[in-house]
Amino acid sequence: MFVDFLYELRERGVKVGPQEALTLSQALGKGLHETTLDGFYRVARALCVHREEDLDAFDRAFAHHFRGVPDDALKIAEEVLQWLLDPRSRRELTDEEREILEKLDLEEVRKRLRERLAEQNERHDRGNRWVGTGGTSPHGRGGTHPSGIRVGEGETGGRGAMAISARRRFRDLRSDVTLDTRQIEVALRRLRAYVREGAQDELDLPGTIDATARSAGELEIKLRAPRRSNLRVLLLLDVGGSMDPHSEVCERLFSAAKRATHFKELRTLYFHNCVYGRVYENGSLTRGPRIVDLLRECDRSWKLIVVGDALMAPWELTASNSPWSWTEEDRASGIAWLVALTGHFERSIWLNPEPEAAWYGTAEVIRQVFPMFRLTLDGLTAGIQHLLRGGERSR
């Protein structure tokens, strides 16, 4: 009963897994819910919800799942006890914990999965659904789950779901389209370069030992400057038009970069479609520095990150008197400005939120100027590696 409820939670986006299930069963085993449905609600909420954003989803799931259930928690307690008594039910749970519990050979699981898939194709309705729903839930839920969870029955189903879930999870980690802020922050972490500079207020232990040894045991304290980040980042964001669908992921990247404490300096400027003589300080493109001045202020060690879909009308890239350039001296073509940018900085990357299949036309041209990476976790990580390689080589 409560395992079904956990699936209901997952369906509503509350990411509960084996750990929650085990903890919950442990809590119920200890009688923390005081054998009331209200008690169960409170205990389950404390254990299954990890962030306040999920509270609402939890409430809805609970209301839906337990609608019409009389307040006979005694039954719940009994079921849980039974569930605990039966070791096999534990393995039907989910993911990695189960993996640890069972210590099953992954190869064997894969084999079973293949067998299962073959078997399922024959049984038409269920089989298709089973594989199909793998997409929405990491557990390959859908058709198999309600019976799969039940003890004893559908054992192979459970195993298959495990392999599928493992595969799905892996993919999520690698290149999920929705990058959350934390993932970006973690990826940005790698973008760092430290130097020792500033006031000497950190004990240099090896230096002190060395100096002390040299003066025959007479203590001589050596100090040194702490390691500080020496990385400056220039972030140029394409706004408006075709970038609107990507505004959320751009915002996340922006807020993650803003919060990253390990940049010595971060400048964020905006442009529309392509960079011309000027970039802007806000999204409404009203005022901002000229590129010429910007390049004077930011020396070549700055890391340039451009975020844009690189899609525009071809003339925006090639025409030398684009409507976006106002003054005479700014009248170079878009591509010329881009070349100027990459030429100035030691390392620069272009992050494109569009999938690679969409990198055609102007994007293809820009790609020849800028190393282009996708704005996903993979792409960001590769891009950052590219930026860092430049830094190391110059030293």
Partner 1 sequence: MDFARFRGTDAYLTSPELESAVNCALALERPLLVRGEPGTGKTQLAEALARALGLSLIHWPVKSTTKAQDGLYVYDTVQRLYDSRFGDGDVRDIRRYIKLGPLGEAFAARDRRVVLIDEVDKADLEFPNDLLHELDRMRFRVAETGDEVVARERPVVIITSNAEKELPDAFLRRCVFHYIEFPDRELMARIVRVHHPDLGNQLLDQTLGAFYQLRDVQGLRKRPSTSELIDWIAVLRRAGVESVELDDSLPFLGALLKREQDLLAFAEAMHRGRRPRA
**In the complex, which residues of this chain contact partner 1 (CB under 8 A)?**
15, 17, 19-20, 23, 26-27, 30-32, 38-39, 42-43, 45-47, 49-52, 55, 180-182, 185-186, 189, 203, 205, 208, 218-219, 221, 259, 261
Closest CB 287 distance from partner 1, rounded Å: 23
Closest CB 219 distance from partner 1, rounded Å: 4
Choose between 47 and 306: whose C-beta lies nearer to partner 1.
47
Contact 313, 270 (CB under 8 A): no
Choose between 215 and 327: whose C-beta lies nearer to partner 1.
215
Closest CB 118 distance from partner 1, rounded Å: 35
Closest CB 24 distance from partner 1, rounded Å: 9
Choose between 58 and 130: whose C-beta lies nearer to partner 1.
58
Choose between 28 and 311: whose C-beta lies nearer to partner 1.
28
Q: Which residues contact 176 (CB under 8 A, 6 or more apart)?
A: 183, 376, 377
Choose between 114 and 196: whose C-beta lies nearer to partner 1.
196
Q: How far is CA 324 from CA 271, 286, 371, in A?
A: 10, 12, 25
Q: How far is residue 238's CA from residue 324's CA, in Å, rounded to a whole number?
A: 14
Choose between 202 and 346: whose C-beta lies nearer to partner 1.
202
Closest CB 21 distance from partner 1, rounded Å: 11
Contact 225, 201 (CB under 8 A): yes
Contact 49, 55 (CB under 8 A): yes
Closest CB 252 distance from partner 1, rounded Å: 11
Helix residue ranges, H only, the chain: 2-11, 18-29, 37-48, 55-65, 73-85, 87-91, 95-102, 106-122, 124-132, 145-149, 155-175, 181-189, 205-214, 247-259, 291-297, 314-318, 334-344, 362-369, 377-394
Choose between 73 and 109: whose C-beta lies nearer to partner 1.
73
The total of other beta-carbon atoms located within 10 Å of residue 24's CB is: 24
Choose between 41 and 324: whose C-beta lies nearer to partner 1.
41
Instruction: Identify the H or E element spanning 269.
Output: strand 265-271
Q: How far is residue 199's CA from residue 312's CA, in Å, rounded to a whole number?
A: 49
Choose between 75 and 259: whose C-beta lies nearer to partner 1.
259
Residue carrying the six token digits 């479609």: 273
The total of other beta-carbon atoms located within 10 Å of residue 15's CB is: 13
Closest CB 171 distance from partner 1, rounded Å: 17
Closest CB 343 distance from partner 1, rounded Å: 34
| DSSP designation for 93 | S
Closest CB 260 distance from partner 1, rounded Å: 9
Contact 47, 27 (CB under 8 A): yes
